[in-house]
Amino acid sequence: MLLKDKVAIVTGGAKGMGRGIALKFAEEGAHLVLCDLDLDGARAVAAEIETRGGQALAVRTDITCSADSERMVAYTLERFGTIDILINCAGGVAGTHGSGNSETITEEEWDRIVDLNLKGPFLVTRAVLPTFKAKRSGKIVFISSMGAVSPVVSVLHYHSAKAGIIGLSLNLAFELAPLGICVNTVVPGPIETPFWDALMPPGPERDAFFAAVSRHEVPLGRIGQPKDIAGACLFFASELSDYVTGQTLCVAGGQPMLSQQATFNIEAYLKERGILGEGA
C-alpha cells in the first residue's frame, strides 16, 4: 500500500490514462478526487473505486477556469482534509479532427488547445500549492506527450502545449524544492486510450494501425496501456521517489532510442488511408 490514506487529485480522471492512474492509486490505498468535464464518467470511476472498498469524490471541473479549480480544491479539503498528490492528466485535442499544422490552425483553435493542455494544468497546480506549501510536502506529476519532444505527426498546438508542460514542470521543481515539494513529468508514447477515438474509431483499421506502429515505432513491440502510465505515476507519487524532482520520464516502449530516420511515418500512413486530410 504505497499510498495508504494519501489524498490524490487526478484531473481527466473519467477515462483513459486518468482512469487508469486513479484505479492504480486506489489499489495502493489512496483516496481519490476525480476531476473532469465528464461528470458522469468521473462518477462511474468513483463508483468503481468505492465498489472495491476505496474512497473517491467526483467533481466536474473545467481546468481552464481558475474558479473551477479553486472550487474543486475546496471540495477536496472539505471531504478529505488535505491533499498529498496532484496528477495533471487532463488534456487532449478534442474537436481538431486531425488538423494541426501551421496552415490549418486558427488563432481561436490555438488558444483553445493551449489553454486546455498548458494553462489548465498550471491553474490546477496553483490552486493546490497553498496546501502543499503549508504542509511543506507534496507530489505533483504532469503528463506531457512524446510528440512534444519527437513529433511524428503535425499537431502543432497540442505538441507545443505539451512541450510547455515540461518547461513548467522543471521550473516548478526548481522553485518548490526548498519547500519539500517534488515535481516530475511523465512523457507517454503511443497509449491505447479514447484519445484516438475521434481520429480512428475502434475496429480492424485501428487494430492494423496500432500493429504497424508497434512494429515500426516501438522497440518493445506493443502499444502502451493506461496501466503503464499509472505505474510511472505511482513511482513519482509515492515515497519511492522522495529524493526525485525535476525529472522527465519517457514511458514509451523504448521510443526515444529510435533515430529520427528510423521512425515509422505515421502521418503518411494516415494520409494514405484517408484518415488524415492532406491539409492536416
- Proportion of the chain above pLDDT 90, given as a percent: 69
Q: Is the pLDDT of residue 115 over 50?
A: yes
Residues 6+ apart with CB under 8 A from 118: 161, 162, 164, 165, 168
Q: What is the pLDDT of residue 278?
A: 46
Res. 276 pLDDT band, cuts 50 70 90: low
Measured in residues, the chain has a length of 280
270 vs 254: which has the higher pLDDT: 254
Chain center to CA of 83: 19
Q: CA–CA separation, 62 vs 64, rounded Å? A: 5
Neighbours of 255 (CB within 10 A): 23
Q: Rounded mean pLDDT of 80-109? A: 86
Least confident segment among 91-105, 132-146, 161-175: 91-105
Evaluate whether residue 43 is within a structural domain: yes
Q: What is the pLDDT of residue 277?
A: 52
Evaluate whether residue 269 is within a structural domain: no
Q: What is the CATH number of the domain that holds 25?
A: 3.40.50.720
Evaluate whether residue 259 is within a structural domain: no
Q: What is the pLDDT of residue 280?
A: 38
Residue 24: φ, ψ to 5°? -65, -45
Evaluate whether residue 186 is within a structural domain: yes
Q: Is the pLDDT of residue 274 over 80?
A: no
Evaluate whether residue 30 is within a structural domain: yes
Evaluate whether residue 218 is within a structural domain: no
- Write the DSSP symbol of residue 262: G
Q: Is the pLDDT of residue 71 over 60?
A: yes
Neighbours of 258 (CB within 10 A): 16
- What is the span of the domain harbouring residue 156? 7-192+224-253
pTM: 0.89
Return the amino acid letter for 104: T
pLDDT tens per residue across span 237-265? 999 999 999 999 999 999 876 544 445 56
Q: Rounded mean pLDDT of 67-82? A: 98
Q: What total number of domains does the chain contain?
A: 1
pLDDT tens per residue across span 159-205? 999 999 999 999 999 999 999 999 999 999 888 887 777 667 788 88
Q: Is the pLDDT of residue 268 over 80?
A: no
Res. 279 pLDDT band, cuts 50 70 90: very low
Neighbours of 92 (CB within 10 A): 18
Evaluate whether residue 147 is within a structural domain: yes
Evaluate whether residue 60 is within a structural domain: yes
Q: Is the pLDDT of residue 60 over 80?
A: yes
- Catalogue the active-site residues: 158
Nearest to 214 by CA among 232, 191, 194: 191
274 vs 248: which has the higher pLDDT: 248
